[in-house]
């Protein structure tokens, strides 16, 4: 708040600045420059700069730089996390590995390194009291959908693990626990590891002037792909998901399957080294196989699919465990998001360019 004297000075400054601007014409003379400098000093004396103003300016600059950088990155590329194993072994999805209950937890430093470098999260549930298991539920931490917690209530006390309930269920598959079970204080009830799915960058910029070729790994939305939306409706899954598969067919192709090979107009598709790896039946690859179910577009020998303009055929490298175009048909061109180019985390054998 300004005192009466300061308010009077502010009024005087306003009048003098107004007169100065009315009198100033063209390039200021030396006496006018000196007069204006004097007015500036009086203004700064009346309204001194805050001590932290420089820090505030720096924070604002960094914030806007980050926003601009994020906008540029989202235009050229976007991060994506592999949720399932349909592209395994090229790309790995989220996996839960049960561990023997008596296996000790790694020390804190080892757990931090395991998490930071390899995306592996260790979990152990130890009963903090005697009692009966009263229930198991899941929640979002602070309402954030991406951060899940599983709560196990034992004898009136809640035990919390930082994982979702599906991961917890997979983690206790070898040593199941259930509601109504009596447990003792100190008893180890669960011990498991969760490996995060590969996280990668999807290059979007070239999507504005080119389309993916056969053999490229690409990302697309599931909007208006009827087979996927019907399945999501039945399972209660969210609509408008993002899928990642390998593009194996482009407009004009006539595709068929002759296990373990993929054919185009009767000839084995060999346009990229990736196909040779898939056909090899080595290092986790098992080749291509027919879809299960008579209604599938490529469900048996002799079935063919011809791709029209604006249609692309998507298949997982893990053909035996992949819901792909064999089940729900071609991907429309309008659904294309971009090409997967680089695994940036975790730091393991798959880190780097995607082939």
3-class state of residue 174 by DSSP: coil
Which domain-ending residue is among 147, 163, 195? 195
Torsions phi, psi for 121 (to 5 deg)? -115, 125
Q: Are 303 and 257 in contact (CB under 8 A)?
A: yes
Residue carrying structure tokens 């003098």: 16
Segment holding 132, helix H or strand E: strand 131-140
Torsion angle of C-alpha atoms 247, 249, 251, 256, degrees rounded to 10: -160
Q: For residue 90, tell me if it sits in a domain.
A: no
Distance of CA 113 to the CA centre of its chain: 21
Longest dimension (CA), the chain: 96
Same domain, 323 and 208: yes
| Assigned token pair, 82 | 């592999």
Residue 70 is assigned to a structural domain of this protein:
no
For residues 270-282, average pLDDT: 91
Structural domain range at position 139: 96-195
For residue 80, pLDDT beyond 70: yes
Listed residue (266, 304, 262, 302) closest to 285, CA to CA: 262
Q: Give the confidence band of 11 by pLDDT, cuts at 50, 70, 90.
A: low
Helical (H) or strand (E) element with 353: strand 352-353
Domain CATH for 266: 2.10.109.10
Q: Assess whether pLDDT exceeds 70 at residue 237.
A: no
Q: Do 348 and 208 share a domain, yes or no?
A: yes
- Cβ–Cβ < 8 Å for 157, 131: yes
Residue after which a domain boundary falls, among 136, 163, 195: 195
- Rounded Cα distance, 13 and 27, in Å: 22
Burial 131-165 (b: 16+ CB within 10 A, else e): bebeebeeeeeeeeeeebbbebbbeeeebebebbb
Q: Is residue 66 part of a domain?
A: no
Best-predicted range by mean pLDDT (25-39, 115-129, 196-210): 115-129
Q: Does residue 79 lie in a domain region?
A: no
Q: Are 225 and 302 part of one and the same domain?
A: yes
List pLDDT tens digits, range 280-296. Answer: 999 989 999 998 875 77
In this structure, are 206 and 154 located in the same domain?
no
- pLDDT over 70 percentage in the chain: 79
In this predicted structure, the answer to whether residue 221 has a pLDDT above a threshold of 70 is yes
291, 255: one domain: yes
Same-domain status, 306 and 203: yes
Within a domain: residue 53? no
The pair of structure tokens assigned to 328 is 């729900």
In a domain, 82, yes or no: no
- Residues 120, 106: one domain? yes
End position of a domain, from candidates 195, 215, 240: 195
The length of the chain in residues reads 355
Whether 182 and 204 share a structural domain: no
Domain count, the chain: 3
Contact (CB, 8 A) for 314 and 331: yes
Q: Is 342 in the same domain as 207?
A: yes
Q: For residue 69, what are the CA distances in angstroms to 77, 207, 284?
A: 11, 20, 39
The predicted-structure confidence for 12-61, as pLDDT tens digits, reads as follows 666 666 666 666 555 556 666 677 677 677 766 766 655 555 565 666 67
């Amino acid at each position: 708040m300004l005192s009466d004297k300061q308010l009077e000075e502010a009024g005087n400054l306003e009048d003098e600045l107004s007169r100065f601007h009315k009198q100033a014409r063209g390039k200021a003379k030396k006496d006018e420059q000196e007069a204006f400098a004097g007015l500036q000093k009086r203004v700064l004396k009346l309204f001194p700069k805050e001590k932290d103003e420089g820090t505030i300016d720096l924070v604002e600059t960094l914030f806007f730089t980050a926003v601009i950088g994020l906008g540029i990155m989202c235009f050229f590329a976007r991060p994506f996390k592999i949720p399932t194993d349909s592209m395994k072994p090229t790309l790995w999805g989220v996996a839960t590995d049960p561990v023997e209950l008596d296996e000790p937890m790694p020390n804190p430093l080892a757990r931090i390194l395991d998490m930071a470098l390899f995306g592996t999260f260790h979990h152990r549930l130890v009963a903090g009291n005697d009692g009966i298991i009263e229930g198991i539920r899941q929640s979002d931490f602070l309402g954030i959908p991406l951060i899940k917690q599983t709560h196990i209530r034992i004898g009136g006390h809640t035990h919390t693990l930082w994982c979702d309930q599906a991961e917890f269920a997979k983690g206790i598959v070898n040593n199941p626990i259930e509601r109504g079970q009596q447990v003792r204080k100190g008893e180890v009830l669960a011990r498991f590891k969760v490996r995060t799915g590969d996280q990668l960058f999807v290059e979007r910029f070239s999507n504005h002037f080119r389309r993916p070729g056969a053999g490229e790994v690409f990302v697309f939305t599931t909007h208006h792909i009827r087979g996927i939306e019907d399945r999501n409706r039945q399972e209660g899954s969210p609509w408008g998901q993002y899928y990642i598969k390998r593009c194996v067919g482009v407009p004009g192709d006539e595709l068929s399957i002759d296990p373990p090979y993929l054919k185009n107009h009767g000839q084995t598709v060999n346009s990229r080294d990736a196909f040779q790896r898939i056909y090899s039946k080595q290092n986790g690859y098992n080749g291509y196989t027919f879809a299960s179910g008579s209604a599938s577009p490529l469900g048996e020998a002799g079935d063919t699919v011809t791709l029209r303009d604006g249609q692309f055929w998507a298949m997982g490298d893990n053909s035996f465990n992949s819901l792909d175009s064999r089940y729900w048909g071609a991907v429309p061109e309008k659904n294309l998001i971009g090409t997967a180019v680089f695994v940036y985390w975790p730091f393991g054998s798959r880190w780097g360019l995607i082939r």
